[in-house]
Structure 1
Amino acid sequence: MARIGLFFGSNTGKTRKVAKMIKKRFDDDTMADALNVNRASAEDVAQYQYLIIGTPTLGDGELPGLSADCENESWEEFLPKLEGVDFSGKTVALFGLGDQVGYPKEFLNAMGILYDFVVERGATVVGAWPTEGYEFEESEAVRDGQFVGLALDLDNQSGLTEERLNVWLKTIAPAFELPL
């Protein structure tokens, strides 16, 4: 079994694309295939000590899901299934997608929601990311002056995605025992 679980929620497919970009950098022994949470179970998540979790932020700072007008279930419907999962001893890295120009007051809020969820259940979160280079007004994903995970804006800064992803993966590598 792979050592790292890679889970994402998506609406337009952009978060899926980033998850596949992450997976492409690792072999099957190191990282499982990216799995959309609308196809996952709590047991799928619980089996991993190391997790990389991704989400877009929709609407007024919401998790993707049916109430945010997604076509399929996503994080909104999956989080209640994870209520009983103990994240103690798990290391989690988060990545989030948002639109800092169109939604400057809600930029990456969903990543902040996932951060709170896993931390409340005992997870150690790694991979904080600087806020420099972004133009937004507010974000629930900023704690102690940094994003709680990798911040991506494929709508306005898509040309920076590869470089940001490479730097972030090197940042989380020691905590995940990754050979980068």
Structure 2
Amino acid sequence: MAKIGIFFGTDTGRTRLVAKQIAKKLGEAAAAPVNIGRTTLVEFLAYDRLIVGSPTLGDGMLPGESTGLSQPSWEEFLPQLADADLTGKTFAIFGLGDQKKYPDEFVDAIGILHDAFVARGATVIGRWPVAGYDFSASKAVDRDEFLGLAIDQHHQAMQTEARIDAWLARITPALQP
């Protein structure tokens, strides 16, 4: 499959909107974004190049039924990858969070997804600087960078489009076939 797969988990729909924005900017290079709770492992693994996104809920959790969602999401999907070999697959991760309300778990989902993919042999690209954010802690930080694109639609929505554009400029060459 030549296109870039885009998969997202969501609670309020904000992550879906960002996924759609990313897909629109990538144009023909990307497949239509898919809610991770509405896909199969076979469909997910059909892509060699993926952009995945998730909000961080509550105390640093992935979205899923235990967080109050009425449908499955990343929490239910990740265990399906337990025996998957992701060697040769390239992932870029984006995450949504609220740095003021949850400063100790800001975009933790990026770190959780990153670790799950890397543990199964994937290459993860798309680190993003922590400069310009105001938070206390995050599982998504390695030294002075996030392990993916951090987005705060609550307090920095006006910066989202420019951040997406800059991030895509960085990762798109590595996502080419």
Specify the TM-score bucket, using the shorter chain as the normaliser. over 0.9
Report how far residue 91 of structure 1 moved. 0.8
Q: TM-score, normalised by structure 2?
A: 0.97
What RMSD over aligned residues (CA atoms) do the two structures have, in Å? Answer: 1.1
| 3-state SS, counterpart of residue 27 of structure 1 | helix
| 3-state SS, counterpart of residue 6 of structure 1 | strand
Unaligned runs of 5+ in 2: none
1:57/1:64 contact within 8 Å kept: yes
Distance 1:147 1:98 in 2: 12
Q: 1:176 — aligned with what?
A: 175
1:129-148 equivalence runs, <5 A: 129-148=128-147
Report how far residue 135 of structure 1 moved. 0.2
Within the alignment, does 1:27 sit opposite 2:27 as a pair? Answer: yes
Distance 1:167 1:26 in 2: 13
Report how far residue 176 of structure 1 moved. 0.8
1:1-180 equivalence runs, <5 A: 1-28=1-28, 30-177=29-176
Read off the aligned partner of 1:149 and give its amino acid letter: G
Report how far residue 136 of structure 1 moved. 0.2
1:104/1:135 contact within 8 Å kept: yes
Unaligned runs of 5+ in 1: none
Q: TM-score, normalised by structure 1?
A: 0.95
Moved over 3 A (4+): none
Distance 2:27 2:85 in 1: 27
Percentage of pairs with the same residue: 51
| 3-state SS, counterpart of residue 26 of structure 1 | helix
Distance 1:136 1:26 in 2: 30
| 3-state SS, counterpart of residue 27 of structure 2 | coil
Q: Deviations over 1:119-174 (max 9, x none)?
A: 00011111000000000000000013210000000001000000000000000011
Distance 2:27 2:141 in 1: 32
